[in-house]
């Protein structure tokens, strides 16, 4: 479980910079997932144990479902509130977790001085980067894995909340150790976290076994839209803003919906389309094999990983769905000709 050699220098420099200041602002991408939120909780608990003040300032509210990983007393200030303004005004360093793209953290990217901004992320680096300082390593299964290494480099004792935060980050980003980013080292880290006291069943209960009724109602409506095209290998699900508003669904309620499409036999690319309040349609792409959906998402102004990526396109689902399907049908057809 030694820290991979190529990460050591960057993590050592990052650890020293974070620990040398009084106040660190933590943030992650819009609609924080378990990796972003868990990594924030872990770094916050670790820095607080070193006497460094932390504030979590996210572009969208810290998700309720991950609040259990936060150490009691952790300062959370949503972007746009006076509390967030105050934190940003006196923070020494901004640490961005689980993204390195300016357009994924909203106005935060232009608010804080770049020379005092660090990034820890495992997404393939985009052309436009928030900062070159910190560590971006797409060989990591999760940002939580890089946070684990950061805390190992530090070598001190690790607070319990930090252990749980890292575990949540890794469990959620590997689909509970099922996706291809799962490696022997991922399991090794999980094993180490369990040895140090993380309770996997308690985390499972909080993450997956307690579901609001509205999430099941949304699932029922979403599955009614499920379509599969065996001839192209495309499967997709559409969620309209009307349904989201009527059921008061959150972005967390939509997590995992795309997996139902992805699991259909013969699916090469699965897509979730969801309308947003501001007249856009968000698209989540999942690839089962040959198609690089990061490349597909970039054609629509988005990005992500080879097998999981996303984009936002202006327009209703009625307008956006046929356009995106057309591009993907052409893409998949080309892939088949090459074979
Ligand atoms: Mn991640």
Segment 317-327, tens digit of pLDDT: 999 999 999 99
Mean pLDDT of 137-155: 96
pLDDT computed for residue 333 by the predictor: 76
How many angstroms does the Cα of residue 20 sit away from the middle of ligand 1? 26
How many angstroms does the Cα of residue 193 sit away from the middle of ligand 1? 18
Q: Would you say 311 and 300 are in contact if contact means Cβ atoms under 8 Å apart? A: yes
How many angstroms does the Cα of residue 240 sit away from the middle of ligand 1? 26
Mean pLDDT of 242-271: 93
Mean pLDDT of 147-161: 95
Q: Would you say 137 and 122 are in contact if contact means Cβ atoms under 8 Å apart? A: yes
How many angstroms does the Cα of residue 140 sit away from the middle of ligand 1? 9
How many angstroms does the Cα of residue 144 sit away from the middle of ligand 1? 8
Exposed/middle/buried for residue 220 (C-beta within 10 Å: 0-12, 13-18, 19+):
exposed
pLDDT computed for residue 335 by the predictor: 54
How many angstroms does the Cα of residue 247 sit away from the middle of ligand 1? 27
Q: Would you say 241 and 203 are in contact if contact means Cβ atoms under 8 Å apart? A: no
pLDDT computed for residue 336 by the predictor: 52
Q: Would you say 89 and 106 are in contact if contact means Cβ atoms under 8 Å apart? A: no
Q: Is the dihedral angle over the CA atoms 128, 133, 138, 140 positive or is it negative?
A: negative
Q: Provide the token pair at 32.
A: 């924080």
pLDDT computed for residue 211 by the predictor: 85
How many angstroms does the Cα of residue 173 sit away from the middle of ligand 1? 6
Cα–Cα distance, 278 to 197 (Å, whole number): 44
How many angstroms does the Cα of residue 254 sit away from the middle of ligand 1? 17
How many angstroms does the Cα of residue 129 sit away from the middle of ligand 1? 16
How many angstroms does the Cα of residue 230 sit away from the middle of ligand 1? 30
Tell me which residue of 231, 35, 239 sits closest to 120, measured CA to CA: 35
How many angstroms does the Cα of residue 231 sit away from the middle of ligand 1? 32
Render pLDDT for 75-125 as a digit per residue (tens, 0 to 9).
Answer: 999 998 999 999 999 999 999 999 999 989 988 888 899 999 999 999 988
How many angstroms does the Cα of residue 339 sit away from the middle of ligand 1? 32
Cα–Cα distance, 277 to 245 (Å, whole number): 9
How many angstroms does the Cα of residue 151 sit away from the middle of ligand 1? 18
Q: Would you say 57 and 27 are in contact if contact means Cβ atoms under 8 Å apart? A: yes
pLDDT computed for residue 214 by the predictor: 95
Residue-averaged pLDDT of the chain:
94
How many angstroms does the Cα of residue 285 sit away from the middle of ligand 1? 15
pLDDT computed for residue 200 by the predictor: 98
pLDDT computed for residue 334 by the predictor: 63
How many angstroms does the Cα of residue 216 sit away from the middle of ligand 1? 25
Q: Would you say 270 and 261 are in contact if contact means Cβ atoms under 8 Å apart? A: yes
pLDDT computed for residue 338 by the predictor: 47
How many angstroms does the Cα of residue 148 sit away from the middle of ligand 1? 13
Render pLDDT for 272-312 as a digit per residue (tens, 0 to 9).
Answer: 999 999 999 999 999 998 899 999 999 999 988 899 999 99
């Amino acid at each position: 479980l030694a820290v991979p050699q190529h990460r050591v220098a960057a993590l050592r420099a990052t650890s020293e910079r974070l620990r040398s200041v009084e106040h660190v602002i933590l943030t992650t991408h819009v609609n924080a997932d378990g990796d972003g939120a868990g990594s924030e909780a872990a770094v916050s608990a670790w820095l607080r144990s070193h006497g460094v003040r932390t504030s979590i300032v996210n572009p969208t509210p810290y998700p309720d479902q991950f609040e259990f990983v936060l150490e009691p007393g952790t300062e959370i200030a949503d972007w746009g509130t006076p509390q967030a303004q105050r934190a940003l005004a006196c923070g020494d360093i901004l640490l961005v977790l689980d993204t390195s793209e300016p357009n994924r953290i909203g106005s935060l990217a232009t608010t804080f001085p770049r020379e005092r901004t660090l990034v820890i992320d495992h997404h393939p680096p985009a052309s436009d980067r928030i900062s070159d300082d910190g560590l971006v390593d797409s060989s990591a299964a999760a940002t939580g894995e890089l946070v684990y290494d950061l805390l190992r480099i530090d070598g001190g004792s690790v607070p319990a909340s930090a252990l749980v935060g890292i575990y949540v980050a890794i469990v959620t980003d590997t689909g509970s150790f099922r996706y291809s980013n799962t490696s022997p080292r991922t399991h090794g880290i999980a094993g180490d976290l369990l040895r140090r006291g993380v309770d996997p069943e308690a985390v499972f209960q909080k993450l997956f076994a307690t579901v609001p009724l509205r999430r099941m109602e949304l699932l029922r409506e979403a599955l009614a839209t499920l379509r599969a095209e065996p001839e192209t290998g495309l499967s997709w699900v559409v969620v309209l803003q009307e349904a989201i508003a009527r059921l008061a669904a959150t972005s967390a309620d939509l997590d995992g919906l795309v997996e139902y499409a992805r699991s259909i036999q013969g699916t090469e690319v699965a897509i979730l389309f969801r309308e947003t309040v501001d007249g856009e349609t968000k698209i989540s792409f999942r690839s089962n094999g040959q198609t690089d959906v990061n490349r597909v998402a970039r054609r629509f102004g988005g990005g992500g990983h080879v097998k999981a990526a996303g984009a936002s396109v202006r327009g209703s689902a009625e307008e956006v769905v046929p356009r995106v399907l057309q591009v993907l049908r052409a893409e998949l057809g080309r892939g088949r000709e090459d074979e």
